Structures are given as structure tokens and as C-alpha cells.
Amino acid sequence: MSSFLGVPVDAAYHLVSGLTGILTPVLGGLAAVAAIVVFTMAVRLLLMPLSLRALRGQAAQARLAPQLLALRQRYGKQPERLQREMTALYQREGTSMFAGFAPLLLQWPFLSVMYLLFRSPTVGGTANTLLSHDLLGVPLGAHWLSGAGAASAQGAVFLGLFALLAGLCWLSARLGRLMAAQATAARPAKPAKSATPGKPAKSATPGKPAKSATPGKPATGAAASPGLLVKALPYLTVVIAAFAPLAAGIYLLTTLAWSLAERMLYSRSTVAATDSDRTRPEKLAGKAGPLSAPAADSAAGGSLRSGPA
């Protein structure tokens, strides 16, 4: 275990052990599992402001992605100009290229402490007694690959854990794509700039479409590989759980479920804010609608009185 994280892991160990002792009279053998879940949720609750800040930064990156791509295509051969244009774009939008990354980086020590706690056989030079507890007869310190096989009780518990993790990974990936689409759709359309007043903005040569990939041919090689990698990355958590103790797998399941709940909460709040912005002009237009009948009669009377002498 890293000496840098040794002290925090030892402190977290005493907290979870004390919580296990408190829950034992109520939950019996499930007290350690419940303590892992409760402790993980408590830490994630404390880190929630950083998580929401990271989500806002990721949404900003998704919203600016088309503009960033256009800048790279236009100034790809001018690195210094490209950097200046990208910096100016981020400043106009009130964000930065690290907006979605920095909050995640700040959470890393806390999440690493919890993961090390639930996978380390020893803490502070003594045995990690949390791993001696069990879930449905399977020790929390047991590994899937060290079991009797998928047909055993231990194998069934791990397979159930993997199925839950895979389901959460799929939901998280789908929600991520939905949030990216919402962020892109929420980007306000900007009119094309025209160099000379009265002249339309420059476009592609009449009769010639914009450059693109060869029609009818899908992207290949390096262009296709990122898509496969992005699709496979969300399921990396399942692979990690396959080589970790059951206690660490329970932690991964809890923190992944919390992350999914945070993303759903942020997505709903963003949609609600967008709908509110869209309906506000309609409400203002309704308030400033046609004159009422008395006001209209008064205006008409005034126009008659101010007629020709």
C-alpha cells in the first residue's frame, strides 16, 4: 500500500469497522456489507459538489465540440493560432479545457482510499477484518478466479455482481450519449460571419459539396477505432471487479450506482432549466399582448380627439 495513502486508509478502516459494529445487532452477518455501502455513499455525498462541477464541465465540452472541431480543421497547420482561438472560445463561454477533468482529479485520492481499503488484506500492519465477513456465505476477501467455478455458490454471487455492474455500465453509457446530445442541441446557433457588409458569408464553391468522407464508405482505421474504444471503456469496471475481492466489487457497484444517480439528476435539472428558458419568452409575450378593451377604447378616443381640426 502506498505510504501516501496509508494513514487515510487506516482512518477509513476504523470508521467502517466501527460502523459494522453498530449495524451488527440489526443486520447480523450483512452488517459489513451494509457498512461498505453506507460509508461509500457518505463519501460520495461529500464529493457531490465536485461531481456536479465535473458534469457541468463535460457538458460544456460536448456543447463546444463542433466549434472546437471547426477550429482544428481551420487552423490545424497553425498551432499557435489554434491555441489562441481555442483559448478565446473557452473565455467567451466561461469555461476551460480542464473544467470537466480537474474536479475528477480532486476526487481521485478519496476514491483511491476506499478502493484500497476494500481490497487490501492488511491495514496498518494488521489483518483487514472487514474481509473476514461474508455475503451469502462468500467471504468479502474472496476472489472470483480463486473460487470453485461459476456453478458454485461463490461463482453465482460474483456472476450476479458482474451482471449488476454491466447493467449499470450500459445505463451510464446510454445516459452519457443522451447528455452529450442534449448539450449539443442546447448550443445556440450563431449566424455565419460575413467579411463585407451586404455580402453573404463565404461558403463552399457553388455546385460543390463540402469535403467529407467518401460517400458510401464508413470510417476506417484510426477514425473507427476511437468509437470501439469509447464503447468498451464503460465496461472496464466489470473487468476490474473480476480481479478484485468481493468487498471491492461491492464498493464499485455502490459508487457506480451513485454516479449514475448523479448523472440522472443533473440531466433532469438541465432539461428542466432548458424548458424554463424556452417558455419564458412565451410568458413575457403573453403579458405584453394586445391591449385590453378599456385601454383600446381610450386609445381610440384619443386618436379621434387628436384628428384634424
pLDDT for 148: 67
pLDDT for 286: 56
pLDDT for 184: 63
Among 115-129, 134-148, 177-191, 207-221, name the one with the lowest average pLDDT: 207-221
> Per-residue pLDDT tens for 41-72?
999 999 999 998 888 888 888 888 888 888 88
pLDDT for 274: 61
CA gap 144, 86 in Å, rounded: 47
> Per-residue pLDDT tens for 257-277?
999 999 898 888 877 666 565
- Output phi, psi for 245, to 5 deg: -65, 165
CA gap 254, 158 in Å, rounded: 15
pLDDT for 281: 56
> Helix crossing, 79-93 with 48-75: angle to 10°?
140
> Per-residue pLDDT tens for 174-209?
887 887 776 666 555 444 344 444 444 444 444 444
CA gap 242, 244 in Å, rounded: 6
Give how far Cα 56 sits from Cα of 45, 59, 100, 190, Å. 17, 5, 7, 22
pLDDT for 304: 39
CA dihedral defined by 95, 100, 106, 110, rounded to 10 degrees?
Answer: 150
Percent of the chain with pLDDT over 70: 70
> Per-residue pLDDT tens for 67-103?
888 888 888 888 888 888 888 888 888 888 888 788 8
Give me the chain's average pLDDT, please.
77
CA gap 17, 213 in Å, rounded: 59
pLDDT for 249: 95
Q: With CA atoms as reference, report the closest residue to 112 among 252, 261, 246.
A: 252
* Length reported for the chain: 309
For residues 60 and 20, is the Cβ–Cβ distance under 8 A?
Answer: no
For residues 234 and 170, is the Cβ–Cβ distance under 8 A?
Answer: yes
> Helix crossing, 102-119 with 246-287: angle to 10°?
150
